[in-house]
Amino acid sequence: MTLAFTICSINYLAQARTLGDSLRRTNPDYQYVIGLVDKLSTANLPADLVPDYPMLEVDKIGIPDFQAMCDRYDITELNTAVKPFFIDYFYKNRPEATAVIYFDPDIIVFQPLTELNKALETNSLILTPHTCSPTPDWERPNELHHLNTGVFNLGFIGLRTDKIARAFVDWWKERLVYECRIDLCEGLFVDQHWVNFAPAYYQNVCIDKYLGYNVAYWNLHERQFSQRPDGTWLINETDELRFFHYSGYNPFRPDDISKYQTRYTFSQRSDVKPLFDLYCRELLANANEQYTKYPCVYIKPPTIKRYQRVRKAIKLPINRLISLLQHR
Amino acid sequence: MPAVVIGLADDPDQLSQDLQSPYPILPVGALFSASERQHLSDQYTPVEFAAACKPRFLNAVFARYPTVETLLYADPNVLFLHSTQPILDRLRNQTLLLTPYLLQAPGDTGPGKKAWPDEKHLQNIGLYNADFLAFTRSTETTQLLSWWQSRAETRAYIDFCKGLCTDQIWLMHAPVFFGGITIVHDPSWHVALWNLPQRQLHQRETTWQLADNGQPVLFVNMKGLFNPDEGFFPHQTRLNPAKRPDVMALLQAYRQQVAAKELAALTAIRPAYGMKPLLPVVRGWRRTATTALTALNKWVDTIYLPALPR
């Protein structure tokens, strides 16, 4: 049995349901679980908003000292830090699962993942690169962003239930207890940058470059879209679209491909527009507007740093002294 | 015997007239126009300059030796201890062989464990070491080198916040952008300062072996051992060579070999290219003081300052 799961807070349940619906259509043999970084008891969702998929709350999976992690991390960091802890929970509590696949909630699966299932029979880990070829310009995102934040996108990871994958998950968990922060100068970018180590540390890691996987704004430059008469989406007229990742897309701003990219507008990429229109419709039909009103119980008010000028003035002589010492 | 070429990222006029190199020297001046070279020299430190030139050197060697099918690049700190045949065997039908700095987690970093370099520092410099590379001639290799050259020449700065670190960090993209990239997981390759804490050596007559399985060591990289100020880990805390007789013996043998090549006359020559100054490595009380002051700066950034009454 393959267990597919996602992680989100209640405000993203429209996305998680849309993903679940797509898996039900395309991969009905998968068991799908929503990992919830939120509390159902606090939200008290009305019956029509309770998803038709099993939900597993993050405080139920036995993360050691979870409260301290909540205190340390902001909502993005927390939502990503718990990923390997969920995988570990499934390894320990769902022994019938021969493979575990993580999808970000903002993904739609379009096709049966037959080749992926096959690849998971022999590979311990399956990773998908942000882009399989050089980026064409220095618009956002470009190769430098991927160097700073990780060459693989961790909106997807496939793991076989084996010794190597377990060892990787144990190592990943340990890293994320304290270092799932965003601090590019220190080499840190949530859970994702760490996964660069996977092919260096482990031998049985598949870097899957099939162009139909994890299609998103970061790889549009190498992927052109068309449709067969039967409706199947094709990429570069060869690879079938298997799953699309709508990262940074907001259905209330349907004219923006993603808030994180500057390379394309829909007028330049009309080929991809119908895929976003489809997502917009599905999200709205899945009560996106209602869900977004639920604040996450783990969210902290953002820390506002006051007196930046005062801080700068204090640091000026310290920096002079450092420079003096460094230049001998 | 393999043909050896020395790529010189410096001005050959600096060499003494009576220096006889047993290997042909390819000077960087042969690769760039004077103005291009000057432009690179002005924007980089000597370390960055040499890194920026590396892909062009590799392209030039492939072009000058048209019958050559395989090309190994080795940093001058590398010492081959064994036949290169196992490397050539692994290279068959491959584009590029990469050697990671570490083949396993060091396990001594994180809260309460302060060994350095930690894994996040490796993320900043790139996980695959650019001091050793093995290529075969192919269309894929041509594309890889052309891409790498375009990136390294314009962006070889060491600037972690921008995701930059010499030619090396760009190699992180190689396994995802190009086909036929092998990541070599063999501990008998590229033994060095950063992985010696995980690898014990054993000398057997003229050969060196990995102590735990007797496998012959193919090559070592003496960067940071021969000159502790060189490389990315001048403040590494894992390896104390004085407590490792195997490392001391290897280092001793290496020093003797290098001394036999009249090192003293050459080390006095300052690099002609790479005009941006290199920050000297500080140690002792200066290091302690700069570390403490940097921590103080961070504290100033994060400390809560109460709102002042208006």
Which value does ipTM take for this structure? 0.95
Of the partner residues A130, A199, A314, the one whose CB lies closest to the CB of residue B300? A314
User: Which candidate in A72, A147, A308 is best for mutational testing of the B interface (most B CBs within 10 A)?
Assistant: A147
The Cα A323–Cα B289 span in angstroms is 11
Map chain A to HEC letters: CEEEEEEECHHHHHHHHHHHHHHHHHCCCCEEEEEECCCHHHHCCCHHHCCCCCEEEHHHCCCCCHHHHHHHCCHHHHHHHCHHHHHHHHHHHCCCCCEEEEECCCEEECCCCHHHHHHHHHCCEEECECCCCCCCCCCCCCHHHHHHHCCECCCEEEEECCHHHHHHHHHHHHHHHHCCCEEHHHCEECCCHHHHHHHHHCCCEEECCCCCCCECHHHHHHCCEEECCCCCEEECCCEECCEEECCCCCCCCCCCCCCCCCCCCCCCCCCCHHHHHHHHHHHHHCCHHHHCCCCCCCCCCCCCCCCHHHHHHHHHHHHHHHHHHHCC
The Cα B108–Cα A322 span in angstroms is 29
Mean pLDDT, all residues of chain A: 96
The strand order across the sheet containing A125-127 reads A55-57, A31-36, A2-8, A99-103, A156-160, A125-127, A205-207
pLDDT at B184: 98
Q: Residue ranges of the alpha helices (H) in chain B? A: 34-43, 46-64, 85-91, 119-125, 139-154, 174-177, 245-259, 263-267, 284-302
Please report residues of B whose CB lies closer than 8 A to that of A319.
297
**Tokens 């993603």 found at:** A258
Record: contact A305-B102, CB cut-off 8 A: no
Radius of gyration of chain B (CA): 21
Bridge partners of B73?
B133
Radius of gyration of chain A (CA): 21
User: Which candidate in B113, B114, B120 is best for mutational testing of the A interface (most A CBs within 10 A)?
Assistant: B120
> What's the helix, strand, coil split of chain B in %, to 5?
40, 15, 45
User: Which candidate in A130, A197, A222 is best for mutational testing of the B interface (most B CBs within 10 A)?
Assistant: A197
The Cα A216–Cα B205 span in angstroms is 57
Average pLDDT over residues A177-197: 96
User: Could you tell me which residue, A261 or B265, shows the higher pLDDT?
Assistant: A261
Put simply, whether B162 touches A (Cβ < 8 Å) is yes
The Cα B170–Cα B148 span in angstroms is 7
Put simply, whether B86 touches A (Cβ < 8 Å) is no
Put simply, whether B310 touches A (Cβ < 8 Å) is no
Strands B6-8 and B25-27: parallel
pLDDT at A262: 97
**pLDDT tens per residue, range A108-138:** 999 999 999 999 999 999 999 999 999 999 9
Put simply, whether B280 touches A (Cβ < 8 Å) is yes
Task: Give all domains of chain A, ordered by start, each with its CATH number.
Answer: 2-326 (3.90.550.10)
**pLDDT tens per residue, range A1-32:** 999 999 999 999 999 999 999 999 999 999 99
The shortest C-alpha distance from B12 to chain A (Å) reads 29
pLDDT at A75: 87
In chain B (310 residues long), the average pLDDT of successive 10-residue segments reads: 89 85 94 96 98 98 96 98 97 97 92 88 98 98 98 98 97 98 98 98 93 97 96 96 97 93 81 92 90 90 71
Instruction: Give chain B's length.
Output: 310
**pLDDT tens per residue, range A202-219:** 999 999 999 999 999 999
The shortest C-alpha distance from A169 to chain B (Å) reads 12
Record: contact B105-A171, CB cut-off 8 A: yes
Average pLDDT over residues A223-237: 97
pLDDT at B301: 84
pLDDT at B310: 55
Cβ atoms of A232 and A152 closer than 8 Å: no
pLDDT at A308: 83
Average pLDDT over residues A277-295: 96
| Residue A211, number of CB atoms within 10 A of its CB | 20
pLDDT at B119: 96
| Residue A81, number of CB atoms within 10 A of its CB | 27
